[in-house]
Structure 1
Amino acid sequence: MEWLEVSTENCTVQRTLDVVGEKWTLLILRDAFNGVRRFDDFRRHVGLSEAVLAGRLRKLVAAGILRTEPYREAGSRTRYEYRLTRKGRDLWPVLVALRQWGEAYVADPEGPVLDIRHSACAAPVRVVVECADEHVALTPADVTVLPGPSARPRA
């Protein structure tokens, strides 16, 4: 079966984009990876309306990407912080890859906003697609793509 003959209704890229494919969602995740936890801090830093932020946070919690943790400041009602779950932390390479592409093609001339480095040796961090057996970096020309077990003929 050729790619154009394969239905994309159950494509995992499409399913992933259904969960995290909105600009604001990715910016919320960027901030969560950089330590932002509270609603008002997300709102101020990302710069979106309360209604949009509340909706995106609800969607991320429902998807199991963020979890809520109650906190209470003296004299205030109980509120919630948003913490990345394991499922959420597994999106980190996606955000690093987006950042890496951005630094290559749409970067600010003054340099990066975030400088991500390996704590142990201070080398820059980058995302690489590699062979699971040989651990060598691959390009699209180095791989063969075939329909997988859940591929269905296009209707």
Structure 2
Amino acid sequence: MWTLLILHDAFDGYTRFDQFQESLGISSSMLTTRLKSLVVDGLLERRPYQTSPVRHEYMFTELGRSLHPVIVTLAAWGNSRLTPTERSMILVDAHSGKEVEPVVDAKTGRRLDDSATYVFTAGPAASDAMRIRYATRPAIPADEA
């Protein structure tokens, strides 16, 4: 859970240890551990921003930035289970300020919330067990695989 909250704060522009700690109320040792993991996993990079004493900031890598749609979708999912007055944050269009719901298929524009409409199927690298699991599901057309 802390990792997702750290990533969310990073997408809000937080880069420094003290910013994350103040925002989240997380212990120094837990924050240190989580930030190290995010660096090792290639989602954040640690850069010095001050030399005396040495202080670092944490910036997204390209891989880390690619998680933005995932974090946005998780936030939208959470908000969908709350009444409008219970929401502590709302996703809006940065230019218009209008609330948005990002949970749509980019190709068709249809909502992804219907679990009967969208299902997983075996991909090209699927193991035999995965292919058996999804044997009754639609296969990916050859021109898309």
Give every structure 1 segment of 4 or more consecutive aligned residues whose post-TM-superposition deviation is greater than 3 Å: 107-111, 134-138
Give the counterpart of 1:79 among 41, 55, 76.
55
Q: State the structure with bigger RCO (CA 8 A, min sep 6), 1 or 2.
A: 1
Post-superposition offset of 1:86: 1.9
Counterpart-to-counterpart distance in 1, 2:12 and 2:125 = 36
TM-score norm. by structure 2 comes to: 0.75
Partner residue, 1:137: 111
Counterpart-to-counterpart distance in 1, 2:106 and 2:57 = 38
Post-superposition offset of 1:121: 2.4
CA offsets per residue over residues 105-125 of structure 1, 9 Å max, x none? 2x3773432232112322212
Q: Are the aligned partners of 1:131 and 1:137 in contact in 2 as well (CA < 8 Å)?
A: no
Q: What is the aligned-residue identity percentage?
A: 38
Aligned in 2, Cα 1:113/1:150: closer, same or farther, shift over 3 Å?
Answer: same
Aligned in 2, Cα 1:131/1:31: closer, same or farther, shift over 3 Å?
Answer: closer
Partner residue, 1:34: 12
**Runs of 5+ unmatched residues, structure 2:** 130-145
Partner residue, 2:143: none
Q: Are the aligned partners of 1:96 and 1:126 in contact in 2 as well (CA < 8 Å)?
A: no
Post-superposition offset of 1:128: 1.9
Q: How many aligned residue pairs are there?
A: 129
Moved more, 118-127 or 81-90: 118-127
Partner residue, 2:134: none
TM-score norm. by structure 1 comes to: 0.71
Q: Are the aligned partners of 2:103 and 2:111 in contact in 1 as well (CA < 8 Å)?
A: yes
Q: CA RMSD in A?
A: 2.4
Give the counterpart of 2:97 among 122, 125, 134.
122
Post-superposition offset of 1:48: 1.5
